[in-house]
Chain A
Amino acid sequence: MSDTSEAPQLLRLAASDNVLVALGAVPAGLARITGGGTLTVGRPVTLGHKVAARDIAAGEKIVKYGVPIGSATAAIASGCHVHTHNMKSDYTPTYVLDETSKGGAGD
């Protein structure tokens, strides 16, 4: 997905979601959201990864598809990459290889 077109770069799956999904490689800066609106993305994020749609407090549920998919382990500022470094499962811990888990800014 080209960032020079008018195509949306971030997908909002449900109105109540506090994260958006990258529809391709999204560079830092202003990114277009499906259904309208924009979000300032802190650092580049790769396809399929999530960014915070708004400020999220530590301990708050991360909501995607309109349902909780885990909890924030730290305060996450709007536009930041949301992943295993700042959220966790409410069920079983997530196993990652440090070498491959970044998928974006690593912020």
Chain B
Amino acid sequence: MIEGFPRQDGRKGIRNHVAVAYLVECARHVASEIVLPYREAGAQVIGFPGCFPNDYAQKMMERLCTHPNVGAVLLVSLGCESFNRFQLAEAIAKSGRPVETIVIQKTGGTRASVAEGRAWVAARIEELARAKRVPMALSELVVGTVCGGSDGTSGITGNPAVGLAFDRLVGEGATCIFEETGELIGCEEVMAARAATPELGRELTRSVEKAARYYATLGYGSFAAGNAEGGLSTIEEKSMGAYAKSGSARIDGLIKPGDLPPKGGLYLMDVVPDGEVRFGFPNISDNAEIAEMMASGAHLTLFVTARGSVVGSAIAPVIKICANPETFARLSEDMDVNAGRILSGTSLVEVGDEIFDLTLAVAGGRQTASEQLGHAEFILTYKSFEPIGPACLPS
């Protein structure tokens, strides 16, 4: 039914991007200049801005550079940053992907690095254009969901409609990931009751309690001013709406960013760092959450927005589901699904089915609204995690 590009590790990609990855903010301009003429041809910029080393960032970049939707990787290093470019290049080479590293300080500066980078990218794009898609089972597809710019309509229209699409996808053997434990505050008990085992249920509860503590220390919940403008009054209210995205399937596991779900089913991603509060807010904007689900293998993201997010993402397409009919009327070109029509009588099931069908079409190559508009946002910042416990992935 769907088709993907086969990779050496057995996974399949639904896109075939050349990723140009800067390894410190100082190399970002060169990376962006390299990509500029090849944006329409599938070259995209990702990267990590920090100069200090970070295990989480290293793992995230390795996962993202070997993501099934990526066919080749150009690393752009300034030269003196702490990021381990050697380890990253080795991991990419091992995955069977073409990889090259440009070190700006050794290549002769900006102009020479851009010229060399463009020549390499142009050659890879030509090669990747000859790649053939092969049949891909729904059980090989990984789908993430996120909500951003929520309001009082999100929990009534877009989020429960995605929940129905998730139920169908999980039923067909796909892997589905929901996340943002900071937006599940107040939902711990109902969620834990859906866990595959009581031990997993306790882990789910603990992950939300950790999020509540973390945000309490920071003094702000995962709640933006626009949420209140649209009628949401508290984090608990926002959470109940956000939780609806997970549907009603059994929860099969708890993963952390970069962990690959071992089999089809529904997984919660714990995105809040472990240990004392460090490095600031867990996810500073929606694309940080999308990047983390991509690092866990998500081929595409179902993004429910109500105030009207316009973002897409590098590497993995974003399907935007607009919960608020007034917003849809203003921003329709940026949206893929008008879930707000549920308020005027369209059934949740009809919209859920539309999201399911569109997910398959996008997996088969159809461009989303944000892809057509050239959106390819990406952000990655500092975090630290402990590995998941044994109860998190019951066999």
Seen from chain A, the residues whose Cβ lies within 8 Å of a Cβ on chain B are 1, 7, 11, 13, 21-24, 46-50, 62, 64-65, 67-70, 82-84, 87-97, 100-101, 103
Contacts and interface: CB of A to CB of B under 8 A. Distances in A.
B225 interface: yes
A1 B343 CA distance: 8
B220 A95 contact: yes
Contact of A92 (B153, B221, B224, B324): B221
8 contacts: A1-B344, A7-B344, A23-B343, A50-B233, A69-B234, A83-B228, A91-B185, A97-B225
Contact of B156 (A21, A84, A95): A21
Given A68-B186, A70-B234, A100-B226, 20 more contacts: A48-B232, A49-B230, A50-B152, A65-B155, A67-B186, A68-B236, A70-B237, A83-B228, A88-B234, A90-B186, A91-B221, A91-B235, A91-B236, A92-B185, A92-B221, A92-B223, A94-B235, A96-B229, A97-B229, A101-B229
A88 B219 CA distance: 15
B231 interface: yes
A84 B324 contact: no
A82 B234 CA distance: 11
Given A49-B231, A89-B235, A94 B223 contact: yes
A48 B230 contact: yes
A85 to B, nearest CB: 9
B235 A100 contact: no
B151 interface: yes
B229 A100 contact: yes
A21 B240 contact: no
What is the interface of chain B mostly: helix, strand, loop, or mixed?
loop
A103 B228 contact: yes
A92 B220 contact: yes
Interface in B17-76: none
Contacts of A82: 233
B186 A91 contact: yes
B293 to A, nearest CB: 24
The 10 closest A-B pairs by CB, nearest first: A48-B152, A48-B231, A89-B234, A92-B221, A49-B231, A69-B237, A70-B234, A97-B225, A100-B229, A69-B236
A103 B236 CA distance: 19
Contacts of B224: 95
B234 A101 contact: no
A84 B186 CA distance: 18
B342 to A, nearest CB: 10
Nearest to A2: B344
B228 A101 contact: yes
B333 interface: no
